[in-house]
Structure 1
Amino acid sequence: MSLAWQAQAANVPDGVTLAENQTYTFWLLDAIKSMDPQINTDAEGSDVLRNLFEGLYNEDEKGGLVPGVALEHEVSEDGKTYTFKLRDNAKWSDGAPVTANDFVYAWRRLADPATASEYAWYMELMQVENASAVVAGDMAPDELGVKAVDEHTLEVKIDAPMPYFPQMLVHASTFPVPQSVIDANGDNWTRAGTLVGNGAYTLVEHQLGERVVMEKNDTYWDAEHTVLQTVIALTINDVNQGLTRYMAGELDRVDMPAGQYPRMEKEYPDQATSVPYNCSYIYMLNVGEKGPEALKDVRVRKALSYAIDRDIIVDKILQGGQHPSYNWTHWATAGFEIPDIEYADWTQPERLEKAKELLTEAGYGPDKPLSLRLQYNTSEDHKKIAIAASQMLKQIGVNLTLDNYEWKVHTDRMQSQDFDMARYAWCGDYNEASTYLDLMASYSGHNNGEFFNDDYDAVIKDSKTAEDPLPLYQKAEMILADEMPIIPLYHYAKVFMLKEDIKGWPLDNLNQSWYAKDLYRVAE
Structure 2
Amino acid sequence: MKKVIVFLMMMVMIVATFSGCGKKEEAVEGKYLRIAQEVDLPSMDQHVATDGLSFEVIAATIEGLYSVDKDGTFIPAIAKSYEVSEDQLTYTFTLRDDVKWSNGDAVTAADFVFSWRRLLSPEQASEYNFIGGVAGILNADKVVAGEVPGEELGVVAQDDTTLVVTLDRPVPYFLSLTAFSTFFPLNEKFVTEKGADYASSPENLLANGPYKMATWDKGYGFRLDKNPDYYDATNVTIAGLDYRVMKDNQTATLEYDSGNQDVVKLAAELVDKYKDNEEYTQIESGYLWYITPNNQTEVFSNVNVRKAFQHAINKQQIVDKILNDGSNVANFIIPIGLATGPDGKDFRESAGTYSEYDVALAQEYWTAAKAELGDTIEIEFLFDDDGTVKKTAEFIQAELETNLPGIKVSLKAQPKKNRLDLMTAGDYEVGITRWGPDYADPLTYLELYLTGATLNYPNYENAAYDVLVDDSGKGKLAGDAQGRWDAMIEAERIFLEDDAGITPLFQSGYAFLINPKVTGIESHAVGVPFIYKNVKIAD
TM over 0.5, shorter chain: yes
**Cα distance between partner residues in 2 of 1:186 and 1:132:** 25
* Aligned partner (choices 352, 356, 359) of residue 341 of structure 1: 352
| Alpha-carbon displacement from aligned partner over 1:425-475 (angstroms, at most 9, x marks no partner) | 001112332211111112422102210211111111111214323222211
Q: How does 1:250-269 map to 2 (within 5 A)?
A: 250-266=260-276, 268=277
| Larger mean Cα displacement after TM superposition, 502-511 or 351-360 | 502-511
Name the counterpart of 1:316.
321
Secondary structure class of the residue paired with 1:320: coil
RMSD, aligned α-carbons? 1.9
Task: Please say if 1:361 is aligned against 2:368.
Answer: yes
| Alpha-carbon displacement from aligned partner over 1:362-412 (angstroms, at most 9, x marks no partner) | 235998132211110101111111111111112222221111111222111
Q: How does 1:42-441 map to 2 (within 5 A)?
A: 42-190=51-199, 191-266=201-276, 268=277, 270-288=278-296, 291=297, 293-335=298-340, 336-338=346-348, 339-341=350-352, 343=354, 348=357, 351-364=358-371, 368-394=375-401, 395-397=403-405, 398-441=407-450
**By how many angstroms is 1:73 displaced?**
1.5
* Aligned partner (choices 494, 497, 512) of residue 513 of structure 2: 497
CA contact (8 A) 2:304 2:366 kept: yes
Q: For residues 369 and 502 of structure 1, do their structure 2 counterparts lie closer, same or farther at Cα, with a shift above 3 Å needed?
A: same
The higher-RCO structure (CA 8 Å, 6+ apart) is 1
| Alpha-carbon displacement from aligned partner over 1:32-84 (angstroms, at most 9, x marks no partner) | 22212222222101111111100111111011101111122111111111111
**Cα distance between partner residues in 1 of 2:491 and 2:464:** 9
CA contact (8 A) 1:61 1:509 kept: no
Name the counterpart of 1:467.
480
**Cα distance between partner residues in 2 of 1:109 and 1:458:** 28
**Structure 1 segments of 4+ aligned residues over 4 angstroms from their partners:** 364-367, 507-512
**By how many angstroms is 1:227 displaced?**
0.6
**Cα distance between partner residues in 1 of 2:427 and 2:373:** 27
**By how many angstroms is 1:417 displaced?**
0.8
Secondary structure class of the residue paired with 1:205: strand
Q: For residues 303 and 248 of structure 1, do their structure 2 counterparts lie closer, same or farther at Cα, with a shift above 3 Å needed?
A: same
| Larger mean Cα displacement after TM superposition, 59-68 or 396-405 | 396-405
CA contact (8 A) 1:506 1:512 kept: no
TM-score scaled by length of structure 2: 0.88
**Cα distance between partner residues in 2 of 1:103 and 1:508:** 24
Q: For residues 86 and 353 of structure 1, do their structure 2 counterparts lie closer, same or farther at Cα, with a shift above 3 Å needed?
A: same
**Cα distance between partner residues in 1 of 2:139 and 2:373:** 54
CA contact (8 A) 1:260 1:319 kept: no
TM-score scaled by length of structure 1: 0.90
| Alpha-carbon displacement from aligned partner over 1:211-231 (angstroms, at most 9, x marks no partner) | 211111111111111111121
Secondary structure class of the residue paired with 1:330: coil
Name the counterpart of 1:519.
535
**Cα distance between partner residues in 1 of 2:120 and 2:353:** 40
| Alpha-carbon displacement from aligned partner over 1:480-521 (angstroms, at most 9, x marks no partner) | 212111110000112211110110122575557333221111
| Number of aligned residues | 495
Q: For residues 363 and 211 of structure 1, do their structure 2 counterparts lie closer, same or farther at Cα, with a shift above 3 Å needed?
A: closer
Q: Percent identity?
A: 28
Name the counterpart of 1:480.
495
CA contact (8 A) 1:121 1:443 kept: no
Task: Please say if 1:26 is aligned against 2:31.
Answer: no
Unaligned runs of 5+ in 1: 1-19
The one-letter amino acid paired with 1:144 is L
| Larger mean Cα displacement after TM superposition, 232-241 or 494-503 | 232-241
| Alpha-carbon displacement from aligned partner over 1:314-351 (angstroms, at most 9, x marks no partner) | 1122111111011111112131422553645x6x4xx1
